[in-house]
Amino acid sequence: MRYTIFILLQLLVAPTFSQSLDKKQLDQFLRNNQEELVGFKKGLNVKVVSKNEVLYQYQFGVINDDTAIPIASASKWLSGALIMKLVDEKLITLNDPLKKFFPTVPQDKANITIQQLFSHTSGMSGKGTLKLIRMNKNEMAEQCETIFKEKLIGKPGEYFSYGGHSMQVAGRIAELVGKKDFETLFQEKIAKPLEMKNTTFTKNEKTPQVGGGAHSSVNDYLNLLSMMMNKGIFKGKRILSETAINQLLANQIGEAKVEYSPFTKYEKLFTPPIVMKYGIGNWREQDPKTGRLKISSSPGAFGFTPWIDFEHQYYGVLATVKSMKEVFPIYIDFRNQLNAQLK
């Protein structure tokens, strides 16, 4: 009886978002900015979900809910989920060092941990090497040898330097412990359980680019966000442990000095001010005073932007193929307008 009363009270106080939203205002905002948002794919899809209900959607052109498009750095959240699945399976821990998997790794890199690889604090530069990876179509094992030859910018844990090549090393570790190639592991452990039928790391390339090479669709990515919002559960089935979700979203960089971050130039856009930190494959916007997580996101260089708003209890995807430089300020404005209506 107590449980029934509790559920009824929850229903009474649950926000009726879809009934209170001024969707015409949001539509008009996106139409006014459509030229900046729509890229060479000639499409735009913004979809927001709360409590398994579509809270808002605006769709234009060729990008529908199931259209697979390149998502660039939004790939990092997908790869992060796979890494945490391997942690759940006790095949790795985030504290495992490179020397455990690569006996001949140079001494200066021997104690770099998986946690540091996936939070850009490994000491590997975020610049330069990724170009070598893209030119090198060989397997991940050979790509790692290229990466290991690069000079560190500092001691592991000392600097935050955003880039994809440290994640490529973590991808190779996944292959070694999982005894399968990265794409197969991702499909078996993340994509298929989450019904992500249009998501792949090998649409255009044989060897996955772990930190930026995936293609995905709006509905596919929303399934991932639904799982994270629900503490690891998707459609009643546990995909990741709650501990894994907490680690995925937690501040993993501590007080590391920022050597390179693509968000430095965007800090002034956030009102009220936030502190930007990094988790396992995702950015966390946190309260500057308390450190409380407000929003997690993983924007890509081509404009594809997924996010979870923990304050307002919803998640969403802005899907386009356009420069992040043009898309990101409008995404922040849209988010602010949406949140203003939800207060």
pLDDT reading at 3 higher than 50: no
Q: Which range is least confidently modeled, 45-49, 112-116, 130-134, 274-278?
A: 130-134
More confident residue, 7 or 172: 172
Decide if 5 is inside a domain: no
Cα→Cα distances 86→101, 134, 204, 287, Å: 15, 26, 26, 30
Query: Is 1 inside any structural domain?
Result: no
pLDDT, tens digit (0-9, with 9 covering 90-100), for 223-255:
999 999 999 999 999 999 999 999 999 999 998
Q: Please report the pLDDT score of residue 11 as a whole number.
A: 34
Rounded mean pLDDT, 317-325: 97
Counting the structural domains of the chain, the total is 1
Query: 146 pLDDT band (50/70/90 cuts)?
Result: confident
Question: 207 in a domain, yes or no?
Answer: yes
Residue 4: the pLDDT is: 36
CATH number at residue 258: 3.40.710.10
pLDDT the model gives residue 8? 33
- CA 153, 159, 165, 171 torsion-angle sign: positive
pLDDT at 139 over 90: no
228, 316 contact by CB (below 8 A): no
* Residue position matching structure tokens 């924007």: 299
Percentage of the residues of the chain whose pLDDT score is greater than 70: 91
- Residue 107: inside a domain: yes
pLDDT band at 205, cuts 50/70/90? confident
For residue 4, tell me if it sits in a domain: no
**Is residue 293 situated within a structural domain?**
yes
User: 137 to each of 131, 145, 173, 203, 231, how far by Cα in Å?
Assistant: 11, 13, 18, 14, 37
pLDDT digits (tens, 9 = 90+) for 15-57: 445 447 999 999 999 999 999 999 988 999 999 999 999 999 9
b/e per residue 14-33 (b: at least 16 CB within 10 A): eeebeeebeeeebeebbeeb
CA terminus-to-terminus distance, the chain = 32
Question: What range does the domain containing 23 cover?
Answer: 13-342
Higher-scoring residue by pLDDT: 2, 197: 197
Which residues are CB-neighbours of 63 under 8 A, at least 6 positions away?
41, 43, 44, 45, 69, 218, 319, 320, 321
Give residue 128's pLDDT band: very low, low, confident or very high (50, 70, 90): low
Q: Is residue 3 part of a domain?
A: no
pLDDT in tens, 256-308: 999 999 888 888 899 889 999 999 999 999 999 999 999 999 999 999 999 99
- pLDDT-above-90 percentage for the chain: 82
Residue 172 has pLDDT above 70, yes or no: yes
As a whole number, mean pLDDT of residues 321-328 equals 96
| Structure-token match 């139409």, residue found | 31
Residue 136 reports pLDDT greater than 80: no
d(CA 286, CA 295): 7
Total Cβ atoms within 10 A of residue 202:
18
Is the pLDDT score of 6 beyond 70? no
pLDDT of residue 14: 42
pLDDT value for 131: 58
Mean pLDDT of 3-18: 39
pLDDT beyond 60 at 132: no
Per-residue confidence at 190, pLDDT binned at 50, 70, 90?
Answer: very high
With respect to residue 7, please indicate whether it lies within any of the assigned structural domains: no
Residue 296, beta-bridge partner list: 284, 308
